[in-house]
Amino acid sequence: MKKSSIHSRAFLVCLVLVAGLSLLSIRLIAIQVWDRKVSAKWSIPGFILEEKIPANRGLIVDRNDHLIARNLSEAALIADVNHFNFYDNLTRAVAHRFASKMAGWKNLDEQKKNKLLTKIRMERVNKMDRDEVRNEHLAYALEVISTELEMPASRLRERISSEEQSGKKRIVVEKRIPEEKARRIEHALQARKIQGFSFERSQRRFYLKPQLAPHLIGFTDHAGVGQLGVEKSMQEILCGIDGARELRREENGLINLTEPKSVLPPKHGKHVKMTLDLDLQAIAEDELQQACELNGTQRGSIIVVDPYTGDILAMASRPYFDLNVRENVKDAGTNFALATEYEAGSVLKLVAMSAALNERRAHRRSIVHCGWGRILRRGYRVIDHHSYGELTFDEVLMKSSNTGAFLFAEKIGRERFYDYLVDFGFGEATRFPVRGEGRGYISDQTNMQNFASATYGYGLSVTPVQLAMAYSVIANGGKLMRPRLIDSIVTSNGRVVDVTPVEAKRRVLQEDVAYEMRLSLEQVVQDGTGRRGKVSGYRAGGKTGTSWKWDNEIKSYSKNRKHLTFAGMLPVEDPKFVCVVTIDEAPAIDPEKVGGGTIAAPVFAKVASRVAAHLKIPMTEPIDEESSIALTAQQ
């Protein structure tokens, strides 16, 4: 082999070895220096790249689609301390700050701006130490943010410094920023290449009329979970499912706040339509508040119900609270109309009297002798509040005779009487669609004292809503209805997906008996204990109830504490609504003058007059000029 050929081959092998080693050296330098910088940009410790997109909680509306509860989209501005300490990603924003102060900056096109930024970054910013860059970046960021939030940048800096000194890495700079403003801040930060800030989206529930039916509507906590009323009972329907977006990281390692890498859309909650009429609710709230203030009490309720469907048109309770403020929820969060169990007194004589008619053991012309104020049965004395002799069926109701009610109950027998108590819905929950309902209590029926007491409303407890449904039996022709508060469920595009059916639980009375009872209740309002419940222009019917409250300390009934009730309907011939008014412990100088007829009946008259006007119920009776003027002023 020639010597020159050997030399050529050796030179070629050496050349390949040198080239290979050079490439390896270059790659090693790249891994040690350049790639490490790039890698570092892509691995900022602790920075969260995924953001929650809150689902829209479903709206709550009334029966006329008037808005009750809506959402306010908000965001919390978060500062990430880890990002503030990453020098390379802050220099671009600092260069942008310097450039933006230069004359003619705004007139440059994008390409020229980028060239200028690169120049400033290389010639000026890269010569600054880390603390200088960090401070300049933060100052620039807070300058932008404070302008949008309309607050001093110094206050924001103090907040960040204080939280950072305590060791926090993720700092909440400001809460409850409206979504529109949060978007403006995002775009402003992105345009200026400012890093280290992000937003946590959320929704805050807002109630348009927060003092109307707060117990029924309820509210949500900070996490959007229902805590009371419909907000709680319909949580799974209203809440929806949150979505998410993944933030995009640019080639230079900067995080893009405005153009996400991927988006998982949220699944929005469904809307809830209630049976409430907000206008009627406002009437009930107004009249109840006036009644409580006038009578010096803080507890009571007014319920307005459609007797044919069981629809709750209004339900006001005291004490109450503001849904948006909720300062006194702990003390005022119990729904009096739904939860209060009490001995209702004479308003329950409805059961004994209607049962006697339904069993054909009496008619409205039937006469009983009321024993001149007392009747003795098996060693127990039934005591009346007045000394009555012979009274007709209607007169027993009109005068609210205890002995008279007992005598008509006695005609059907103890066992059947208790059957009717249950049939009217007492002693069991109504299955009301929000939590917190009382079920009441029926005493042992084997005891003569319990039986006699129950015929005139003692020895058993009821709730105001049970009374409303029981009187609806008389109003609708004899059927016990389940109360209906939720009308329907509607999707965000307006499609009705579920409707709560109207449910008649059972027939309690024959239609003719219910009608006869309405006529008897009309006599109570015309000439009986319920005279102050008259409604000008209408034939109204109802019954008063005055019950002494039991005092556990003295183991006897109180001499000055009472529950006062009036349950009525209008118009008698074809009732369009039932209204039950309950006032608790109205004080007075003379307790004997405080009764359902003097306190609760006038409230019913005011409520019924306004409700009839709102529902445009045709008048059934002529009214005099004075009443006409008063009614016009009221409307």
Q: What is the DSSP letter of 533?
A: G
Cis peptide before 45 (omega within 30 of 0): no
CB atoms within 10 A of CB 632: 9
Helical pair 464-476 and 511-527, crossing angle rounded to 10 deg: 110
CA distance 285 to 318: 9
CA distance 333 to 224: 19
pLDDT of residue 25: 56
Beta strands, E only, 453-555:
460-461, 479-481, 486-490, 496-499, 504-507, 541-551
pLDDT of residue 632: 44
Please return the burial class of 360, using the count of CB atoms within 10 Å of its CB with bins 0-12, 13-18 and 19+: exposed
Please return the burial class of 106, using the count of CB atoms within 10 Å of its CB with bins 0-12, 13-18 and 19+: exposed
Q: Which residues of the chain have pLDDT under 70?
A: 1-48, 251-253, 586-592, 624-635
pLDDT digits (tens, 9 = 90+) for 129-140: 999 999 999 999
pLDDT digits (tens, 9 = 90+) for 450-501: 999 999 999 999 999 999 999 999 999 999 999 999 999 999 889 999 999 9
Domains in the chain, CATH or no CATH each? 81-201 (no CATH), 278-362+425-444+451-634 (3.40.710.10)
- Token pair of 272, please? 């809830």
- Specify the pTM: 0.85
pLDDT of residue 35: 43
Please return the burial class of 295, using the count of CB atoms within 10 Å of its CB with bins 0-12, 13-18 and 19+: buried
